[in-house]
């Protein structure tokens, strides 16, 4: 009750500063989640809070800042909000709360599992985990050389490199830290070279939460680390435009030297904290402008779709191409161009997002229904992974590749469904194949354990 009164006071203070109760509530929700991550991350794996915070940044904080920009700053924004603040937040806040309710609707124990206390069977199979990490790294390279539907399969399978590297780090960080460092460094390096940073940032955040939960650092360490991560995002945003211009459209090669040259020019506080970079970062983290534009467009056209688009997403995720030759592709511009009120050209990828998809289906009620449905999908995935942990606690880490797209608010609903459906089939099959290797009752592990005990006794 005392905490509830504290947050009511925070809302009143914010209302006095901002002058809008909806925006005050939006900021309060985001502050609550940020505080929860900093305070509770030592005691549980705050994956749900991270997902909610990422959606809050895009759908609550970014639009609040946008609505409160002065005219000079607003004029510099390429993507503004096309509906009023009241109209936006009266849908966004209830939709967001429905999303949170869906995510917490099913109880699960996986977020309080001790990642450092893996079973003896897992420890006995460190060689298998090392081989899996190498296999995932090789597949990551192969996936860039393969085109068509098999490319996505190789990409999904290659993500197990993070799972095995995290598991090795949990078993003995002093001995196996290199594998995790190498996997993360390679992902970040690849992001800088290609000019595409989303995956690298997501996996750095995943590792940060994982490291905090297993290492229990101080509040100061976590707060400073969050500032460092924010600085990294600002740095990436500062160099991204110039790097892509030099490499994608210019004559320079995609290399670390080019990254260094561009970064050296941008790595100063005047650029990182400059108005242009801050506004660019704001726009990049403001999925709400697409939602607002979709609402404006749909209110004018009244072309509500029901579940037509959802059926297209399910068809694309479930049916192979030979059964559905005309199914939509990931990054398809057709739906975005039809319903967002904007037209994007080839080579540009934008998604409507869960709330815009909901509005296209059923208007305001669609926002609430789709928000809860996405949260429920998260919950069902948590429960499925909990079942996998009965084979081995190490399988809890499969949660990360399964939902690495779903935690991104800018990701298309089609991509989320496609990634999750195929990921569950693939990783579920891998769990089935390796179920005996990571259980102590298998003959192989019994034999290994006996030899290990004998060696320990002799010592």
> Which of 222, 209, 139, 126 is CA-nearest to residue 175?
126
Q: Does residue 284 contact residue 237 with C-beta atoms inside 8 Å? A: yes
Average pLDDT value for residue range 165-172:
85
Nearest CA to 88 out of 286, 268, 378, 325 is that of 286
Q: For 25-29, 314-318, 371-375, which range has the lowest pLDDT when averaged over its residues?
A: 314-318
Buried b / exposed e along 124-161 (16+ C-beta atoms within 10 A):
bbbeebeebbeebbebbeebeeeeeeeebebbbbbbbb
State pLDDT tens for residues 291-318.
888 998 888 888 888 888 888 888 878 8
Task: Name which residue leads in pLDDT, 300 or 319.
Answer: 300
pLDDT of residue 434: 75
DSSP track, 373-442: HHHHHHHHHHHHHHHHTTT-GGGGGGHHHHTTTTT-TTS-HHHHHHHHHHHHHHHHHHHHHTTTTTSTTS
pLDDT in tens, 202-247: 998 999 998 888 888 888 888 888 888 888 877 777 777 777 766 6
DSSP class of 45 = -
User: CA–CA separation, 280 vs 300, rounded Å?
Assistant: 29
Q: Cβ neighbours of residue 337 under 8 Å, at least 6 residues apart?
A: 343, 344
CB contact set of 52 (below 8 Å; sequence gap of 6+): 33, 99, 100, 103
Structure tokens at 288: 């709400």
Q: Cβ distance 49 to 33 under 8 Å?
A: yes
Residue reference for tokens 């000019």: 195
Given a cut of 70, is residue 398 above it in pLDDT?
A: yes
Residue 103 · residue 48 · CB < 8 Å: yes
Provide mean pLDDT across the span 324-349.
72
**CA dihedral angle for residue 54, residue 95, residue 345, residue 298, rounded to 10 degrees:** -170
- 103 vs 344: which has the higher pLDDT: 103
Task: Kindly give the interhelix angle for 413-433 and 308-318, rounded to the nearest 10 degrees.
Answer: 30
CA distance 260 to 248: 16
Residue 221: CB atoms within 10 Å = 12
pLDDT digits (tens, 9 = 90+) for 401-423: 999 988 998 888 888 888 899 89
Q: Give the whole-angstrom CA distance, residue 52 versus residue 37.
A: 11
């Amino acid at each position: 009750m005392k905490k509830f009164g504290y947050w009511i006071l925070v809302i009143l203070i914010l209302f006095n500063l901002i002058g809008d109760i909806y925006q005050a509530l939006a900021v309060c929700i985001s502050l609550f989640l940020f505080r929860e991550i900093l305070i509770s991350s030592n005691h549980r794996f705050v994956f749900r809070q991270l997902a909610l915070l990422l959606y809050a940044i895009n759908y609550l904080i970014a639009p609040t800042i946008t609505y409160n920009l002065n005219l000079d700053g607003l004029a510099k924004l390429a993507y503004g909000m096309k509906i009023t603040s009241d109209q936006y937040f009266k849908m966004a806040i209830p939709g967001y709360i429905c999303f949170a309710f869906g995510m917490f609707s099913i109880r699960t124990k996986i977020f309080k599992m001790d990642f450092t206390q893996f079973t003896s069977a897992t420890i006995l199979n460190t060689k298998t985990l090392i081989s899996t990490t190498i296999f995932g790294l090789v597949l990551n390279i192969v996936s860039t050389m393969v085109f068509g539907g098999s490319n996505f399969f190789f990409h999904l399978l290659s993500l197990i490199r993070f799972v095995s590297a995290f598991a090795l780090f949990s078993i003995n960080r002093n001995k196996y830290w290199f594998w995790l460092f190498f996997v993360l460094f390679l992902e970040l390096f690849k992001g800088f070279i290609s000019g595409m940073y989303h995956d690298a940032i997501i996996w750095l955040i995943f590792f940060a939460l994982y490291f905090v939960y297993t290492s229990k650092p101080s509040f100061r360490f976590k707060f400073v680390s969050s500032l460092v991560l924010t600085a990294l995002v600002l740095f990436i945003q500062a160099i991204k435009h110039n790097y892509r211009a030099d490499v994608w459209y210019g004559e320079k090669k995609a290399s670390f030297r080019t990254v260094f040259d561009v970064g050296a020019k941008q790595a100063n506080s005047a650029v990182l904290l400059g108005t242009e970079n801050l506004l660019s970062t704001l726009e990049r983290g403001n999925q709400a402008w697409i939602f607002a534009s979709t609402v404006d467009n749909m209110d004018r056209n009244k072309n509500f779709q029901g579940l037509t688009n959802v059926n297209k997403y399910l068809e694309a995720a479930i049916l192979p191409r030979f059964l559905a030759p005309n199914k939509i592709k990931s990054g398809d511009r057709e739906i975005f161009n039809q319903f967002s009120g904007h037209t994007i050209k080839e080579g540009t990828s934008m998604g409507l997002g869960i709330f815009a998809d909901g509005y296209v289906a059923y208007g305001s009620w669609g926002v609430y229904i789709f928000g809860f449905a996405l949260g429920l999908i998260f919950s069902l995935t948590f429960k499925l992974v909990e079942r996998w942990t009965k084979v081995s606690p190490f399988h809890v880490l499969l949660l990360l590749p399964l939902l690495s797209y779903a935690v991104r608010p800018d990701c298309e609903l089609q991509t989320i469904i496609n990634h999750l459906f195929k990921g569950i089939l693939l990783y579920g099959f891998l769990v089935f194949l390796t179920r005996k290797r990571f259980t102590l009752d298998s003959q192989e592990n019994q034999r290994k354990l006996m030899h290990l005990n004998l060696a320990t006794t002799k010592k």
